A and B are shown apart, each in its own frame.
Chain A
Amino acid sequence: MTTFTGGAKRTATGALMKMAAGALLAAAIAVTPAAAAASKSIPYIPEKFADMVADWETGTWQVKEPDGCFWAYWGCFASQETYNAGVPAKFPLPLNAEAAAENAKVVAALGEGKSIFDPNSQCFPQGLPDRAKTNFKWVNTTDRFYMMINGGEFRTIYMDGREMPERLAHEYTYNGDSVGHWEGDTLVIESRNITGPNTAISPNVPKSDNFWVIERWTPVSADELDVEVTFKDEDRFTDSFTYAFKYIRNAKGDTSPQPRACIMGEGQRYYADPTTGELKLTGPNGAPLEKAED
């Protein structure tokens, strides 16, 4: 498994499988979620964490990424310019041959001034794993956590001991299904069934529908969380990939009116050419632009 934290890279073979096994084991036999489900009472929360959750009634959590990089999606780049130019990240995703070839094709097109893969230009929800690294407000209910995200999106993390549901591939979920449990003071969230044509990993690398996310949230203080996010994609990656960052609580962060949504044809004007896939800017109501004259 590839892991980097602020540019430092380490290897931990099999850790993901251990996490997965832990998740399944905890869901099946752990006193906490199972008991909560049985009694229909509030879920167990480690005492240290529960004390902090009480303080999270107000404020929002904001991403703090490690220093030393220009961060875009899940990549560490030398600069904005190198990112725009399609220069690979310092710690690239462990793409398999097929995914690497597709990535190379997209990057080559960018070099020619063409964007041929960019679902974000078409107002699809971002979903996971993008939304595993986004500012949010924490909401705790009797059997689940909600992460309230901008744009009216939210994630639901079930803490009632339920098993991961099965879904059909065409049931677009974007954020997938998330089931959580506790390992000591660490909240471990497993998310699967992440389907839908969103960009997810990077603008240049489409994920598969067999994409798996494990998040580990460990409170450092009432205002700081250490977070590790691990991706596994058996159809795209040769190995798992872990990204570490922090969430810092902004105690003065508050709710606000919902911003205007992304609406195709209004706030987003890109049309994907059905033959080449090239995204083309259009005029009002999707009208094609004409050749510019002097």
Chain B
Amino acid sequence: MSIISFTRAAAAALAIGAVGLAVPAFAHHSNAMFDYTKGKERELKGTVNQFLWTNPHGYLEMAVTTSSGKIQKWTVEFQGLQGMASRGLTIDSFKPGDEVTVIIHPLRNGTTGGDFYSAVLSDGSEIVPPKEQ
């Protein structure tokens, strides 16, 4: 193939769109704010408000009732689309109103957020921890 014909083909490729890649789509941030100490995972039982299927992170918003009866809103961070899919998650895994159990690595500052570890979905299926897959 000549350079000129390559150029035309390349222009066509350019028109198709961006490149499919094996590396993470976006660089991630530091995870220093989460506590990954074994045994310090926290279990959240609650109701799904929203599940964001987004890059560079997905987010689950859920309402959790505390022991005193107060309802707190929690934010659970996930990996990006590729990472979530590799864990067996889909955009329909968490739907508003679902009753779910989610295990997180909690924020070190003690606020209502954490990094996703595992879950039992509303249909009883499990998203197992990464090392157990």
- Interface flag for A259 (CB, 8 Å): yes
Select from chain B the residue with minimum beta-carbon distance to A270.
B29
- Interface flag for B87 (CB, 8 Å): no
The reply to whether A255 and B13 form a contact with Cβ atoms under 8 Å apart is yes
Select from chain A the residue with minimum beta-carbon distance to B70.
A293
Interface positions of A from 216 to 268, Cβ below 8 Å from B: 250, 253-263, 266-268
**Inter-chain contacts of B50 with A (CB < 8 A):** 284
Question: In the complex, A85→B75 CA distance in Å?
Answer: 24
Q: Which single member of A54, A109, A150, A203 contacts B6 (CB below 8 Å)?
A: A54
Question: In the complex, A137→B17 CA distance in Å?
Answer: 11
**Inter-chain contacts of B32 with A (CB < 8 A):** 84, 109-111, 113-115
- Interface flag for A39 (CB, 8 Å): no
The reply to whether A259 and B13 form a contact with Cβ atoms under 8 Å apart is no
Interface string of B1-43 (1 = CB under 8 A from A): 1111011011101101111111101111111110100000000
The reply to whether B75 and A281 form a contact with Cβ atoms under 8 Å apart is yes
**Inter-chain contacts of B17 with A (CB < 8 A):** 255-258
Interface positions of A from 110 to 129, Cβ below 8 Å from B: 110-111, 113-115, 118, 120-121, 123, 126
The reply to whether B16 and A267 form a contact with Cβ atoms under 8 Å apart is no
Interface positions of A from 31 to 65, Cβ below 8 Å from B: 42, 45, 50, 53-54, 56-57, 60, 62-63
The reply to whether B22 and A54 form a contact with Cβ atoms under 8 Å apart is no
Stretch at the interface among A87-95, A96-104, A139-147, A169-177: A139-147
The reply to whether B21 and A135 form a contact with Cβ atoms under 8 Å apart is yes
Q: Point out which of B58, B107, B112 has the most chain A C-beta atoms below 10 A from its C-beta.
A: B112
Q: Which single member of A56, A146, A257, A282 contacts B14 (CB below 8 Å)?
A: A146
Select from chain A the residue with minimum beta-carbon distance to B29.
A121
Q: Point out which of A50, A109, A113 has the most chain B C-beta atoms below 10 A from its C-beta.
A: A113
- Interface flag for B46 (CB, 8 Å): no
Question: In the complex, A282→B121 CA distance in Å?
Answer: 24
The reply to whether A139 and B108 form a contact with Cβ atoms under 8 Å apart is no
Interface string of B49-81 (1 = CB under 8 A from A): 010101111110100001110101111010011
The reply to whether A259 and B81 form a contact with Cβ atoms under 8 Å apart is yes
The reply to whether A120 and B26 form a contact with Cβ atoms under 8 Å apart is yes
The reply to whether B18 and A152 form a contact with Cβ atoms under 8 Å apart is yes
A57-B75 in contact given A115-B30, A126-B27, A284-B50 (Cβ < 8 Å): no
- Interface flag for B133 (CB, 8 Å): no
The reply to whether B19 and A150 form a contact with Cβ atoms under 8 Å apart is yes
A134-B109 in contact given A256-B17, A259-B18, A260-B81 (Cβ < 8 Å): no
Select from chain B the residue with minimum beta-carbon distance to A60.
B19
- Interface flag for A269 (CB, 8 Å): yes
Beyond known contacts A148-B18, A256-B18: 14 more, CB 8 A cutoff: A62-B21, A84-B32, A113-B108, A114-B33, A118-B29, A118-B30, A126-B26, A140-B10, A148-B14, A261-B55, A281-B75, A281-B77, A281-B113, A288-B111
Q: Contact residues of B with A, CB < 8 Å?
A: 1-4, 6-7, 9-11, 13-14, 16-23, 25-33, 35, 50, 52, 54-59, 61, 66-68, 70, 72-75, 77, 80-81, 106-113
